[in-house]
Chains A and B, each alone.
Chain A
């Protein structure tokens, strides 16, 4: 091959389709330059079932190819492949014969490319391998898929080297007895905005920041001769080395800190290796969610909170565009909304106080239910909240309830301004039914679990997706403990829930521009909730409750714990995790793009990868249904695929 101008043209075409879009330019050019171009008229055989495989696979450049398989005595059409699809590859199969017959259904131009090269590339390029094993193999492997497409990493979130470099360069340390004056001098020369105070073993004791100096020293609160230990904030948040930008951001969001200290083993009892400041991360990547939480934390009223929350959606869109992992995005939104709710509660408390109304003095906990409870609320959906407060002394209950309902009303109004609608009869903390002392909440759950049918349990499932957002988390934990023991006492409850979880059956496949269900009926839309998310969320909840995992609300966290408990089903549960993330991603992307809830999607609006992944997700849902029904000895809802 002399030069690569024609190869470049072929590579350009291939790049528009998976898995070629994952392949490095250099390999792709070599692959394109080693191929052949073939032309077929309508109705010609490309290859035949049972015949020995060629050393090439095909990519359709133009035209349509039908795939047939011999079933019984006749040949049945099993698939229709179009521009950009692959032919003649059966990843991971040792069978040296074609598994199907390929015949053109129009004039067709094919690229014939060497299979050896693709195999070699796949072993070097995980997403390529993942794609091939997911869509062109006899046994799709969940493990391979998960490291592949859905989690195609956003580059900057995955970076670790840059963080390491910055964190080491910025490391300044001081002794607790060093005078503040000396610490200030250390910080002066420039970029460094924090000094880590360490002990003789170089273990971190605290951190002194620029703002400590300007706020407390310059104001005269602390004299310049005072020891650093007096000025430092302590304890410090520590992390192990090697976290990437995405993980560091989540940690800062979660702990509400601006600095993370990197230590040898990640604990405060090992030597300091470096420090990462929010500002360092911002320098690596301009827009940071941590900045947003700062804005939320100081917001003076509902309007500025709403403005900040709108910016969170802009970031969300940006992250989706840069293909940040959806798991990360879901956590990010959950942290933002936690901070937002916390601030809304604080503002409400201030407002009531200004009116001369004081709290009843007992601890309380603000809780979320439903998708927010599961940390799966990416789009702003109706509020579902509750307040649990410590049991009041005799005669004090009414006043307490009154105060908390008032507080909740303020919070709920603020959240409404921030774009979280109120629904009339909904589960919300400003409804006295859902603003109760711990003992009444316990009663509620006992009743629910003891009398599921009377309580129309199918509509009560959000109660089992509960999460503490703000306040005294111990109250929520006590409630969870109560739920766990009630479930143990009522062994018939979970199977009943399982039965209800079977209500939503997934479609079988996407066919052209329609969705086909089990009975062969074609529908125009995919329902991301009913077809993918609800069945997975419901079945996961059932399995989690059955295994005593009541306190974990997130579907993915539940699936991860179940994987540990049921290692023999690890592969299937792993596929379910992928399907949940994929469903969320799909719903969020479409919802944000269209400004709705992303529930209904026309197959024609989907890209090639999305179509393939949806088919995979349908299969995963069907398998989960099947497993669940067998496990609970229910009448099998679906036939194995």
Chain B
């Protein structure tokens, strides 16, 4: 991604934070990077990243020109193969080395605000591997669409909050990515590829941004607010 050669990707990444978004930056100015990773398992320290897929959202639009996708070489197959369907042999043939992939990724990511559904784990494993490879922390802010959805639910964006004691419509509390797709009428085409999930999440995110705007969350700070169950 870098114009100055691969080694400069890290410094481009680092320098992008010199003048970055503040809490008060209006949402439409922020460059959001909606991303998803597929991994060999759920332990950020032991498991490997298999794929990274990402696409940019800015000014309430998904920018298809600004997307990223990488398939990484990894060492062991695990049971997660059945979810993402990528075997070690396949990655060996078509993939790139992790160092190269992560360097390109940082060059693409820059100071973009990372967005994803249950994004915490993706951020953790990326941070772990980036630290290991480059001694560089993952400095980006991040926003969990799950948390934003719960905030909006509390504000009544999805109608009256259901009473926990009573039987509620299944869909009323289904805030999984599939549940949100169903709620917003987005067709969940090829889930469980990193790029596919990132693109679907980006579409969900466009809708959430609209709702958030209506319910008073118009700045980066208010959008990224962590959700603590009452």
Contact = CB atoms under 8 A, between A and B. Distances in A.
Contact of B70 (A2, A10, A36, A109): A2
Nearest to A40: B210
B61 A1 contact: no
A516 B143 CA distance: 52
B133 interface: no
A362 interface: no
Q: Which of B63, B65, B193 has the most CB of A within 10 A?
A: B65
A74 interface: no
Contact of B195 (A5, A107, A109): A5
Q: Which of A1, A37, A38 has the most CB of B within 10 A?
A: A37
Contact of B67 (A2, A41, A62, A107): A2
A158 B193 CA distance: 40
A347 to B, nearest CB: 59
Contacts of A33: 64-65, 67
B55 interface: yes
Contact of A39 (B69, B190, B196, B207): B207
A6 B206 contact: no
Interface string A19-39: 000000000000011111111
Interface in A1-59: 1-7, 9-10, 12, 32-39, 41
Interface in B111-140: none
B143 to A, nearest CB: 17
A33 B108 CA distance: 16
Contact of B203 (A1, A12, A39): A39
Interface in A184-227: none
B2 interface: no
Interface in A102-117: 107, 109, 112
A10 B63 CA distance: 12
A88 to B, nearest CB: 15
Nearest to B66: A1
Contacts of B199: 6, 9
Contacts of B108: 2
Interface string B25-59: 00000000000000000000000000001010000
A6 B67 contact: yes
Q: Which of A4, A6, A38 has the most CB of B within 10 A?
A: A6
Contacts of A9: 189-190, 195-196, 199
B104 to A, nearest CB: 7
B60 interface: yes
Contacts of B198: 6
B53 A6 contact: yes
B21 interface: no
Contact of B62 (A3, A34, A37, A107): A37
Interface in B175-196: 184-187, 189-190, 193, 195-196
Contacts of B210: 39, 41
A47 to B, nearest CB: 15
Contacts of B203: 37, 39, 109
Contacts of A109: 186, 203, 206
B36 to A, nearest CB: 11
A35 B66 CA distance: 10
B69 A36 contact: no
B52 to A, nearest CB: 10
Question: Main SS of the interface on chain A?
Answer: mixed
A4 B69 CA distance: 8
B1 interface: yes
Interface size, A (range): 20 to 34
B70 A32 contact: no
B63 A36 contact: yes
Given A32-B64, A37-B64, A62 B1 contact: no
Given A2-B68, A6-B199, A7-B64, A62 B53 contact: no
Nearest to A3: B69
A107 B61 CA distance: 15
Interface string B195-230: 110110011001100100000000000000000000
B184 to A, nearest CB: 8
A33 to B, nearest CB: 5
Contacts of A6: 53, 55, 64, 67, 69, 195-196, 198-199
Contacts of A37: 61-62, 64, 202-203, 206
Contacts of B68: 2-3
Contacts of B193: 5
Contacts of A112: 61
A9 B203 CA distance: 13
Contacts of B185: 62, 107
Nearest to A8: B195
Interface string B1-17: 10000000000000000
Contact of B64 (A3, A12, A34, A39): A34
A119 to B, nearest CB: 18
A34 B65 contact: yes
Interface string A307-324: 000000000000000000
Contacts of A36: 61-64
B188 to A, nearest CB: 11
A321 B99 CA distance: 51
B215 to A, nearest CB: 13
Contacts of B206: 37-39, 109
Nearest to B196: A9
B168 to A, nearest CB: 23
A37 B67 CA distance: 13
A37 B206 CA distance: 9
A12 B196 CA distance: 13
Given A5-B193, A6-B55, A38 B60 contact: yes
A46 to B, nearest CB: 13
B186 A62 contact: yes
A383 to B, nearest CB: 52
B186 A1 contact: no
Interface in A573-612: none
Contacts of A62: 185-187
A115 to B, nearest CB: 15
Nearest to A112: B61
A5 B60 contact: no
A36 B60 CA distance: 10
Given A5-B196, A62-B185, A107-B185, A35 B69 contact: no
A111 to B, nearest CB: 8
Nearest to B206: A39
B11 to A, nearest CB: 20
B130 to A, nearest CB: 17
Contacts of A2: 1, 67-70, 104, 108
Contact of A7 (B67, B70, B207): B67
Interface in A343-392: none
A424 to B, nearest CB: 56
Nearest to B189: A9
A5 B69 contact: yes
A149 B57 CA distance: 37
B203 to A, nearest CB: 7
A56 B199 CA distance: 21
A12 B195 CA distance: 14
A191 to B, nearest CB: 42
Closest 5 CB pairs of A and B: A37-B62, A5-B195, A39-B206, A3-B69, A36-B61
17 contacts: A1-B67, A2-B68, A2-B69, A5-B67, A6-B199, A9-B190, A32-B64, A37-B61, A37-B64, A37-B202, A37-B203, A39-B60, A39-B203, A39-B210, A41-B210, A62-B185, A107-B184
Interface of A: 1-7, 9-10, 12, 32-39, 41, 62, 107, 109, 112
Given A3-B69, A5-B193, 15 more contacts: A4-B69, A5-B69, A5-B195, A6-B199, A32-B64, A33-B67, A34-B64, A36-B61, A36-B62, A36-B63, A36-B64, A37-B206, A39-B206, A41-B210, A109-B186
